[in-house]
Structure 1
Amino acid sequence: MLLVVLELAGLAVFAASGALAAVRAQLDAFGVVVLGLTTALGGGVIRDVLLGVHPPASLRNLPYLVVPVVAALIVFAFHPQVARLRRAVLLADAVGLGLFTVSGTATALAMDVPAYTACLIGMTAGIGGGALRDLLLREIPLVLRREIYALAALAGAVVVVVGHRLAWPAGLVAVVGSVLVVLIRVVTLWRQWHAPVARGVER
């Protein structure tokens, strides 16, 4: 039940993020919904494909489709108000990253995969939808740019794996892992910390 709640919350947040990016790219209503769905479901679909779950869970459960569609339509209808909430949107994206990373890692662990595999799958579940969103908009994915995004997800996944190995309560592990991801994202954005890039490269 906890995993379902986490995933639905993450779906809504990521769908809103994708929909807002689509509005900024001046896509029509259908395009906004498609990009919202892609951003919301992409990470989970990749996770399930890697774990051999066919068809992916998000395509077998109606709420997993309804929640992101509704979120995308709300953003489409009220995008001026949403666009003004830039900090809130960034925070929501960080929350979505944390929720999806935690649920993805926990799902992988439930299928008895090795710890390092669970970490990688959890990270991929968190960043996959956003990467697909950026590719559809013909942008370099955020995870490949200087911002500390994938590393934040990986840190949260490691916490989930460690908590699982130490037999901590699932709810506590989920909260700690998600909060860690959000804190890393918020602090790095606030302090404008970036991953290193190669120097002396001509553009």
Structure 2
Amino acid sequence: MQQDWDVLWPKIVDAAGETVYMVLATLLFATLFGTAVGLALYATRKGGVFQNRLVFVTLSFLVNVIRPVPALIAIVILNPLTRELMGTAVGTDAVIFPMTVIATFGVARIVESNLVGVEPGVIEAARAMGTSRIRILLTVLVPEALGPLVLGMTFMLVALIDFSVIAGTVGGGGVGNLAITHGYLRFDDRVMAVTVLILIGLVQAAQLLGNMLSRKVLRR
């Protein structure tokens, strides 16, 4: 089925904008919440500055259960809660909620694993100087692990671009929705090709930006 590209191009631009909005908003919220959970995981583990086995086991269990859930299943499972909180389960704004829930636990594990890689001597030196436990976490550990953390967030950003496409196929808007409604269902390979090129461009831009930021941080 041939389509009028004079009408379609504005829809393509809008869809690309919706995808960027979904991904960046989700990354922002997931980074805030996920960093908090990741810091809690690191701090409460055995030998951590706030060692607490119960808290660590509970958080670790939640991360291990929620993080592997496939994106499509997560959106469906969270539909009732999304509708309750957002007033609807359809649309770009609504889909940010389930995307954030899943991404938060992915970010948490990234943060924890990178903090674990910080040299123990750095922590001991901070303790010897009388630095409080909170300050050790926020002003010693996080800056020390910042380079790898930026690379980890880059990986998450790319994953969220994929996630947004899946969300778009179930009413979330963006490039995924465009690919289904104007490409797949209308048997228009040209639209499918355009959406694939947009996604490749977004992924390349995200990876380039992440690599640049990590190099800048590591040179400090």
- Structure number with greater Rg is 2
TM-score, with structure 1 as normaliser: 0.32
- In proportion to residue count, which structure has more helix? 2
TM-score, normalising length from structure 2?
Answer: 0.30
The higher-RCO structure (CA 8 Å, 6+ apart) is 2
